[in-house]
Amino acid sequence: MASASAIAPKGKASQDSLLQRILKKPITATFIAIFLGFVVAAILLAAAGYDPIASFTALFEGVFSKPKYISNTIIKAAPIILTGISVAFAFKTGMFNIGAEGQYVAGTVCAVIVGSTLDLPMFLQIPAVVLAGVAGGALIGSITGFLKARFGIHEVITAIMLNWTMLYLNNFVVNSAMFHRPSSTSSIPVNDSSFTMILPEWKLSDQGLETLRNVPWLYDFLVKSDVNIAFLVAILVAILIWFVLYRSKLGFELRAVGFNRDAAEFAGMPVERNTVLAMTIAGGISGLAGALMITGIAPHCISTLAGFENYGFNGFSVALIAGSSPIGCIFAGLLFGGLLYGGTSVQMAVGAPTDIINIMIGTIVFFVALARVVTLIAQHLEKRSAEKANGSGGACAEVGAPASAQAKGQEESHA
């Protein structure tokens, strides 16, 4: 009987311990936030008179039901993944890169200027255009980092100002005599040798079409969308940034500056240089996203902006959901890409406004920001389990005392 009663609390304790371990994992809070985002969206849809089940069915069908939908989701996700990595990298180095939007715009502007001016062979043109976009974003990021390092000006202030500066620079370039496309609100496109689509000429040739028609899913995936190399580049960048942060001396120094600037300076690390370098790298990644958008997706040009396109701001949300993990940004970016692209299907299928998707995204980000609550719950459960364990231990000691005394008495009587 004693052994059976001992096993029950032990089994319950192991279950409590498993629950606590699950709650302590950062990914648990993310999944809970995503689930709550869908719950809030369902409540709002039902309150507005729309069927939540039909709406979510349309959302998932708009992402997964056809190969071209999957392709377009990946295309939509790629720049958001890159801007998310940019923001995540800055977070890890102690910087708040709210300027990813302006850095992205700088990348698109520089890519158009170089891509429409030069017309080199493809193996030279593509690197030139992409590097121009990276340089544009890196320059804007370095300005923010320099002002922070040298004069202590908070990066949020300068980044917000530079976001607007880049928006007006974009409009200036679009309307300039050299780059304006007549009778439009757009610039001239980059030259064809700049394109980074996958097999752009072959897949539309007679031979390519005839070959791809024999494989319907591949035809749908390649021909019916502007599938390009941006997603593959985003994966490579995520791996590279992870390696730099966690497997290199430079990454250790950058993270040390972000963790404790004074301690890093006391240890002899070049704090000012690392601050500028961190923002330069972050800006370059956002600029890369802009360049790949121009070279990879029609109409391969920039247009007059009345407001921001939100690739950089969505990247901020992606980084938050990913817990500032470069690898996690891949999956968080795919989630965002699916919601943004599949959200249009919700409107077409049930008539619900696409704003419901923005509400869902905002709700997810809101609950991710409250991830600390999940950790507090885990700590509370752990504390309660410890108190119960101590209480049951004391009870066992009290019950065991008379038994031991009785045994001692029996021994004395026999003696």
Q: pTM for the complete prediction?
A: 0.86
Mean pLDDT, range 13-23, rounded to an integer: 63
Beta bridge partners of 303: 186
**Is residue 239 scored above 90 in pLDDT?**
yes
**Is residue 270 scored above 50 in pLDDT?**
yes
User: How confident is the prediction for the chain on average, in pLDDT?
Assistant: 86
Do 298 and 225 meet the contact criterion of CB atoms below 8 Å apart?
no
pLDDT at 407: 46
Q: Within the chain, how many helices (H) and strands (E) appear?
A: 17, 0
Do 99 and 163 meet the contact criterion of CB atoms below 8 Å apart?
yes
pLDDT at 368: 76
Six token digits for residue 205: 């040739």
**Is residue 241 scored above 90 in pLDDT?**
yes
**Is residue 16 scored above 90 in pLDDT?**
no
Question: Which region among 70-74, 294-298, 405-409 has the lowest average model confidence (pLDDT)?
Answer: 405-409
**Is residue 288 scored above 90 in pLDDT?**
yes
Mean pLDDT, range 346-364, rounded to an integer: 81
Question: Which region among 20-34, 233-247, 259-273, 384-398 has the lowest average model confidence (pLDDT)?
Answer: 384-398
Confidence of residue 404 (pLDDT cuts 50, 70, 90): very low
- Higher pLDDT among residues 4 and 52, named by residue: 52
Confidence of residue 387 (pLDDT cuts 50, 70, 90): confident
Six token digits for residue 77: 């996700």
Mean pLDDT, range 352-380, rounded to an integer: 74
Question: Which region among 144-148, 301-305, 359-363 has the lowest average model confidence (pLDDT)?
Answer: 359-363
pLDDT at 403: 45
Q: How far, in Å, CA of 309 to CA of 340, rounded?
A: 13
pLDDT at 236: 98
Q: By percentage, how much of the chain surpasses pLDDT 70?
A: 85
Non-local (6+) Cβ contacts of 163 within 8 A are 98, 99, 101, 102, 105, 308, 312
Q: How far, in Å, CA of 339 to CA of 332, rounded?
A: 11
pLDDT digits (tens, 9 = 90+) for 84-94: 999 999 999 99
Q: By percentage, how much of the chain surpasses pLDDT 90?
A: 56
Six token digits for residue 168: 């007006």
Mean pLDDT, range 53-77, rounded to an integer: 92
pLDDT at 308: 92
Confidence of residue 161 (pLDDT cuts 50, 70, 90): very high
- Higher pLDDT among residues 404 and 69, named by residue: 69
Instruction: Give the closest residue to 262 by CA, choosing from 90, 96, 89, 94.
Output: 94
**Is residue 408 scored above 60 in pLDDT?**
no
pLDDT at 139: 97
**Is residue 115 scored above 80 in pLDDT?**
yes
pLDDT at 374: 60
- Higher pLDDT among residues 332 and 364, named by residue: 332
Confidence of residue 190 (pLDDT cuts 50, 70, 90): very high
- SS3 state at 191: coil
- SS3 state at 228: strand
pLDDT at 290: 97
pLDDT at 10: 53
**Is residue 13 scored above 70 in pLDDT?**
no
**Is residue 280 scored above 60 in pLDDT?**
yes
pLDDT at 26: 67
- SS3 state at 111: helix
Mean pLDDT, range 232-243, rounded to an integer: 97
